[in-house]
Chain A
Amino acid sequence: MTVALSGSEIAKQVEKKFPGSVVESTADSLLVKADSLLEIASYLKTTAGLDFDYLTAITAVDYHDCFEVVYQLTSLKHNHSLVVKTRCYNRDNPTLPSVVGLWRGADFQEREIYDLMGISFEGHPNLKRIVLWEGFEGHPLRKDFL
């Protein structure tokens, strides 16, 4: 079975490599700063021993004061997994770096989050609505949609 790696353990490694990039970490996940998301993602993907070569899912949560985007990573090589989160506090124009360059599977999922949550992913090659149609007003999964 896939082993879920401890967020706190990985956080130590990440913090050593990129000081000040981890906001908090628990046994289940680690929360990183949005600015350093891309370099941490790249580090998790390419470092020997971690090798997170597969992006299982990206989801987004609306916590009213911020959006939290959750990356579920898996390593097919080592059969282990990790949950990485990041937060976006700008509600009017939320922006995060795109991870499509690292994992192609992020393409549609980032578009879905853009569509339903309204978070823009910088560097996405084709960021447009995927589920709803062009010209739809608003982002329905936001808590303040209705």
Chain B
Amino acid sequence: MEVEEVYSSSELDRKEGKAINELIARSQEPIPDPDQWLDEELKRNILLTSVDALIDWGRRSSMWPVVCFPACCAFEFIATSVSRFDIDRFGMGIIRASPRQADLMITAGTLTWKMAPQVKRIYDQMAEPKWVIAMGACAISGGIFRSSYSVVPGYNRIIPVDVYVPGCPPRPEALIYGIRMLHKKISKMSIAAKGK
């Protein structure tokens, strides 16, 4: 049968399967949230410099989200981004298809292990500084699919998460609250502290 030529090589499937199984093997524990520095900073009582204040203002005032909307929370994100709730108010109206131009990943939806390597790659391709908002129950913990054989039990298994927004799905108000929390977090960052 000549139609067999339309099928892709099974070598590709084996490579993909190997990559997924390796990712599962090294993602058994959640990655700690990158917020330990928040407490330290307060304990040491360091005042931010005016340079920090300016840079943090710049960073939080135009966070461009990257496209990472694997499931139904995407619709609440879309509702948030368009005219009624309008995240353009925070300078976030430009949703980038290229991770190189994005600062923020809003993980709107259930993530399967098959999709996980791609999401991790998108995150890795984003330039520092970068932040992640886990939007919705599935993004936080896998939600109702947590015990499933194919679902990642929370994005923090593969990428560090800054802010968690609960809900199934979260209302746009909740997402905006999460975005405001991230703004507050960024405003406490010091460029002197390497990383986050």
Report A's interface with B, CB cutoff 8 A.
125-126, 128-129, 131-136, 140, 145
Interface of B is mostly: helix
Question: Shortest 7 CB-CB distances between A and B: which pairs?
Answer: A134-B17, A135-B17, A134-B13, A133-B17, A126-B7, A133-B20, A135-B21
Report if B83 contacts A (CB, 8 A): no
Q: Nearest chain A CB to B116's CB is how many angstroms away? A: 10
**Given A135-B17, A140-B149, A125–B114 Cβ distance below 8 Å?**
no
B1 touching A125, Cβ below 8 Å = yes
A134 touching B4, Cβ below 8 Å = no
Report if B3 contacts A (CB, 8 A): yes
A132 touching B1, Cβ below 8 Å = no
Report if B10 contacts A (CB, 8 A): yes
Map CB proximity to A onto B1-30 as digits: 1 under 8 Å, 0 otherwise.
101100100100110111011000000000
Q: Nearest chain B CB to A12's CB is how many angstroms away? A: 34
Map CB proximity to A onto B143-164 as digits: 1 under 8 Å, 0 otherwise.
0000001100000000000000
In the complex the two chains form, what is the Cα distance from A136 to B13 in whole Å?
Answer: 11
Q: Which residue on A lies nearest to B15, using beta carbons?
A: A134
Q: Nearest chain B CB to A7's CB is how many angstroms away? A: 32
List the B side residues contacting A145 at CB < 8 Å: 149
Q: Which residue on A lies nearest to B113, using beta carbons?
A: A133
